Structure 1
Amino acid sequence: MSSRGRPRTFSRDEALRSAMEIFWDKGFDNTSLADLTRVMGLNPPSLYAAFGSKAKLFLEAVDLYGRTDGAGIWEFLDDAPTAREAVHDLLKRSAENFTQWAEPRGCMVVLSAPQMEGGDTAVCDGLKARRLEKQVALQSRLERGVADGDLPEGTDCDAIAAYVTSIQHGMSIHARDGASRQTLMAIADCCAAGWDAMVAGVTTKAQF
């Protein structure tokens, strides 16, 4: 029987993986529909039928990244015995993860983001929510440190979490620019070395 008119079969998982890799390498804005159809082996109608839109495809690719190449960084916050060790471990894991491949390097969630002004709202909001989720997880770990007596009462856990995630985002940019794992590890060590001064700088004495 003739197969004329039947859609060509494809592996959705493989196509999504290909999309993830090009989005990670080129970013959302710089990845064209032609780029996507080329690497995914799909024509535009098939791509839209399978994934809905470029924005939906991108966010699904970001979630795939989180489960695969981007995994192994944030999952161990609760394993370290102290907040300082949790932060140091987080940054060291980031240094290892961001340099595990020759290309692309760094964090897809940070580096593939479009410009907010004029950018796709769903993509911008989706990435912002994913970044905030990680920062909130870190803040919760720091608050546990206060509850455990590991950090002093009055520690501004929100400020420290924002600072540490900013350091991590900066490490991602350094990785993309070609920084070595040794350099990124040194950044993690610098953050750990200044821990006591940082905590003291954002801690207010409890009022009685």
Structure 2
Amino acid sequence: MTATKNSEPRGRPRSFDMDEAIHTAMKLFHRRGFDAVGVAELGAELGIKPPSFYAAFGSKAGLFRQAVERYAAGEANVFGRALAKGGTVTEVIERMLHEAAKIYPEHDGIAGCLVIDGARNSADAEACAIIASFKKSSRKTLRDFIATEFPRQADELADFLVIALGGMSGAARDGAGVRTLKAFAAAASRAFRTETTR
């Protein structure tokens, strides 16, 4: 369970910045994945001892959830960035794929997408459930948006995009650069457009 301001223990105020702590944890989880980052390392990076860590976040998974929430609400939300500029469904989707091609190779010095890859192959059920929930919500958002113009194909096209973004994130983590991913984004955009005209 994630600690909130209302559940903070009484007594001495925190001696660390929660906002900065979540940002630091987000970068660690993004770079190495959930399982590879231990509580001791997090405590050392955040400058807090285990009792303060657990009082603030409840668990490593609690901090992970907050880090993923921070990540998904920021610049890495490629769909949100694309949608903000308006346009038709096909225009927004094409823009989203190209945003991913720019961000995934190196976002804040780290490749790939935290939401897609943060708990890949994790043995922790809670971390996997957190990521599964974010992925489900993201797919529904895409599906509902596509359905505004292409209701009959919305599910199929949403699945296509989820797979495309997952592949782009994985390729970026394996070293694919902006040029390679932009070429893929262009091809995926053409495929999306073709499917909408069937």
Partner of 1:97 in structure 2? Answer: 103
Tell me how far apart the structure 1 counterparts of residues 53 and 124 of structure 2 sit (CA, whole Å): 18
1:79 Cα deviation after fit: 4.7
Q: Which moved more, 1:7-16 or 1:90-99?
A: 7-16
8 Å Cα contact 2:89-2:145 kept in structure 1? yes
Distance 2:46 2:128 in 1: 23
1:73–1:196 distance in 2 versus 1, CA, 3 Å: closer
8 Å CA contact 1:83, 1:145 repeated in 2 = yes
User: Using a 3 Å threshold, how does the CA distance of structure 1 residues 171 and 193 change in structure 2: closer, same or farther?
Assistant: same
Q: Secondary structure at the match of 1:29?
A: coil
Bigger Rg, which one: 1
Among candidates 168, 192, 195, match of residue 192 of structure 2: 195
Is 1:163 aligned to 2:137, yes or no?
no
Q: Name which of 117, 124, 127 aligns with 1:120.
A: 124
- Deviations 1:85-136 (CA, angstroms, capped at 9, x unpaired): 22111101111221344731111111211436xx322221111111111111
* Partner of residue 67, structure 1: 73
Pick closer, same or farther for the CA change 1:38–1:146 going to 2, 3 Å.
same
Confirm whether residue 42 of structure 1 aligns to residue 48 of structure 2.
yes
Deviation of the 1:7 alpha carbon: 7.4
Of 112, 125, 138, the match for 1:134: 138
Q: Provide the alpha-carbon RMSD of the alignment.
A: 2.3
Q: TM-score, normalised by structure 2?
A: 0.84
* CA distance in structure 1 between the partners assigned to 2:88 and 2:75 by the alignment: 27
- Counterpart-to-counterpart distance in 1, 2:58 and 2:178: 38
Q: Which residue of 1 aligns with 2:113?
A: 107
Shift of 1:75: 4.3
TM-score (normalizing by structure 1): 0.80
What are the superposed Cα offsets for residues 143-194 of structure 1, whole Å, 9 maximum, x if unpaired? 11137xxxxxxx3210110111110111011111121111111111001222
Deviations 1:44-74 (A, max 9, x none): 1110011110111111111111223424543
Unpaired segments ≥5 residues, structure 2: 1-11
Distance (whole Å) between structure 2 residues aligned to residue 192 and residue 114 of structure 1 = 26
Runs of 4+ with deviation above 4 angstroms: none
Inter-partner Cα distance in structure 2 for 1:59 and 1:102: 19
Report what 1:150 is aligned to: none
In the alignment, is the contact (CA less than 8 A) between 2:78 and 2:96 conserved in 1? no
TM superposition shift of 1:11:
1.0
User: Quick one: which amino acid aligns to residue 108 of structure 1?
Assistant: L
- Counting matched residue pairs gives 188
2:166 and 2:184 mapped to 1: Cα distance?
12
Q: Identity of counterpart residues, as a percentage?
A: 31
What does residue range 3-18 of structure 1 map to in structure 2 within 5 Å? 9-18=15-24
